[in-house]
Amino acid sequence: QEKRLGADLDPKDKRLLDTRLLPDPRKAKLRVYQTNSTHKSMSSLRQGSMVLVGDEDYHVHEQAFKEAVFTHASTSPNQQIIASLDIARRQMELEGYALVMQSIQLAIEIRRAVNTHPLVSKYFRVLTVEQMVPAEYRQSGLKSYIEDGITWVEAARAFREDEFILDPTRLTLVCGTAGYDGTQFKNLLAAEYEIQLNKTSRNSILLQTNINNTRSDVANLLKVLVEISKEIEGRLKSGGEAAQKAFAARVKSLMEDVPDLPNFSCFHDRFRDDPKGGTLEGDMRTAFYMAYDHGGCEHVKLMSPEIDRRLKSGPPLVSAHFVIPYPPGFPIMVPGQVIKADTIEFMRKLDVKEIHGYDAILGLKLISPAALGAKAAKAKPAAAKAVKAGKKR
């Protein structure tokens, strides 16, 4: 590649757009360490996981790596788990391709069965690739795994070319159109039908096929959805107009009155090296540890008028903690972040029971304006001395 393109390639050279550049082996070493949660997708006991190593210099770093592992893992491993990991490896070596293809095929059949069933599709549907991934990230143009004429050649091309792809074994089943929020439907499936899942949203659940599923699992799932759909139909017919209006209002609430996920705002200037810069990075570490200085923090209740007053006229609300509602299960606030109105609106509309980093009794934990000012004041004299020293030189 160096002979073809030259050693000192001009960054403006148009050939760069069409060439996958390789690192110079004289200057770069490939060192990859990957943790693999084997128990989640393969035939291993719970907690079974591996560290996969691809390191050209492993012979040099082997001892340091093992010491690092022993720092975080037991030196007396569970032999049953170790044995199950060996079984999982052997199974995938001998049958892996066939088992994975079977799980993908079952996922395709679930999609087709749910979305084409005359009764079930009135209340439930599995979202398509087109509905999950915006067109600008689907260069292949793939819209659905079950559309007429689609082949695995086209699906494989999407895996290679698209910026974002939808794992065919993950199925997002919308339950809001049946009047259930994700948590309600999850609990119903577990309590009444012994179907387990762990990912939910306000109006959907995530189903997953794996290498141990069979066609009877598909038949059982469809049977359950038919049964629930019939129960909804009967309830609406017997309840009359009042029941139908209440159902429509519930569906509208779940499917339309959904708060938009807030975008990240910015870090407070106290945690930014260049407050006037155009990028968003900040010193989250300092903010994280400031949260444990109780004298430098304050709590304000989420519904308090004080929140609205400070959003309008200041001082800014600066988060002291990661705040993570489940679902969706990722932070809507991080330490040091300036909290804006869209984030507060999102939190006020949430109806989930689990929000990590937030105490409903105490309210939002914030870094106090006094603490932010004190920290900034300590930093300024040092900066001023550096400037003066520079002038003397």
Could you report the per-residue pLDDT of 46-82, keeping only the tens digit for each? 989 999 999 999 999 999 999 988 888 877 888 999 9
Mean pLDDT of 81-104: 94
pLDDT at 266 over 80: yes
pLDDT given at position 393: 39
* Measured CA angle at 331 (ends 330, 337), to 5 deg: 165
pLDDT given at position 252: 93
Mean pLDDT of 159-180: 93
pLDDT at 351 over 80: no
Lowest average pLDDT, out of 34-43, 253-262, 265-274, goes to 253-262
pLDDT at 389 over 60: no
pLDDT given at position 375: 54
Q: pTM, whole model, 2 decimals?
A: 0.75
pLDDT given at position 383: 43
**CA–CA gap between residue 232 and residue 224 (Å, rounded):** 12
Q: What is the CATH number of domain 95-128+166-256?
A: 3.90.1150.10
Closest C-alpha to 201, from 187, 228, 183, 189: 183
- Cis (ω within 30 of 0) for the bond into 328? yes
**CA–CA gap between residue 282 and residue 374 (Å, rounded):** 18
Helices (H), 117-195: 120-123, 129-132, 152-161, 182-193
Choose which CATH entry (3.40.50.300, 1.20.1730.10, 3.90.100.10, 3.40.630.10) describes domain 266-373. Answer: 3.90.100.10
Query: What confidence category does residue 305 fall into, taking pLDDT thresholds of 50, 70 and 90?
Result: very high
pLDDT, the chain, mean: 88
Mean pLDDT of 315-319: 95
**CA–CA gap between residue 161 and residue 159 (Å, rounded):** 6
What 3-state class would DSSP assign to 54? strand
pLDDT given at position 374: 64
pLDDT given at position 265: 92
Alpha-carbon dihedral of residues 247, 248, 249, 250, nearest 10 degrees? 50
- On the 0-12 / 13-18 / 19+ scale of CB atoms within 10 A, 317 is buried
Ranges assigned E (strand) in the chain: 31-36, 50-55, 125-126, 170-174, 204-208, 297-300, 324-326, 354-356, 364-367
Query: What confidence category does residue 315 fall into, taking pLDDT thresholds of 50, 70 and 90?
Result: very high
Ordered by start, the domain boundaries in the chain are 1-77, 95-128+166-256, 266-373
Q: Tell me the CB-side half-sphere exposure of residue 137, using CA atoms within 13 A.
A: 10
pLDDT at 173 over 90: yes
